[in-house]
Structure 1
Amino acid sequence: MFGLTVEKLLLLGALAAFLIGPRRLPTVAAGLRRLIVRIRSYGAVAQDRLRDDLGIDAAQWRELDPRRYDPRRIIRAALLEDAVPTRTPPPSDRSGTSGRP
């Protein structure tokens, strides 16, 4: 997500444990957990309010997605539509000669 790998997260955890100390670490972790829960609840409340105020659900939002109107996507779709192979008639011997010398 932010370029965090398992190694970086372990390093951050070890650094936090060293800087905060073993006595205060559980208190800080509990406070961080409460902060994350509060932020998630604010997001859920905001999402519910938007849904109620606008009256649009997720399926309708997908229909309004502006990425659907990307010119590159429209051109690609149009070019692929016309790319259906057409059958050409087999070549015939219509050179105008009747086969006589």
Structure 2
Amino acid sequence: MSGLTFEKVLIIGVIAVFLLGPERLPHYAAQLGRFVRQLRDMANGAKDRVRDEMGPEFDDLDWKKLDPRQYDPRRIIREALIDEDPMKDLLKPTVSRSVNPDSAYLQRKRSVVKAGEATPFDSEAT
């Protein structure tokens, strides 16, 4: 990052005065003011649109947590190594309560075709 300090801005301003001259400087200063105003209006419009799109969750959002400067890979690795067994939750059998006991898969699984017996035939199947 360049780190634009007050001294650098002052030097740029002095150079602009010498290059533009006193007669054209007010015109370009007014243009710069209009440009900054338009940029600020566009940023506020974008913020308002995001607020409209997200609804009430926009105000509840913690912007400090989303700051990329808060990202610390050492902390993330430390927390991952301290965790006893990160795979234990993945290895637990999951019980699905929304399984349909009359599903075609479970009906096929229950009906075992014995040797010499004709396989089931569905006349409606294509």
TM-score by length of 1: 0.60
Q: Which runs of 4+ in 1 moved over 2 A?
A: 61-79
Give distance in 2, aligned partners of 1:69 and 1:29: 40
Structure with greater helix percent: 1
Task: Find the counterpart in structure 2 of residue 86 from structure 1.
Answer: none
Give distance in 2, aligned partners of 1:3 and 1:31: 24
Cα 1:76–1:62 change in 2 (3 A) is farther
Where does structure 2 lack aligned partners over 5 or more consecutive residues? 82-126
TM-score by length of 2: 0.50
Give, in angstroms, the shift of residue 40 of structure 1: 0.3
Task: Find the counterpart in structure 2 of residue 44 from structure 1.
Answer: 44
Cα 1:7–1:42 change in 2 (3 A) is same
Task: Find the counterpart in structure 1 of residue 106 from structure 2.
Answer: none
**Higher relative contact order (CA closer than 8 Å, sequence separation 6+):** 1
**2:74 aligned to which of 72, 75, 86:** 72
Task: Find the counterpart in structure 2 of residue 62 from structure 1.
Answer: 63
For structure 1, which segment, 56-65 or 6-15, has the greater mean C-alpha deviation from structure 2 after superposition?
56-65
What number of residue pairs does the alignment pair up? Answer: 80
Where does structure 1 lack aligned partners over 5 or more consecutive residues? 80-101
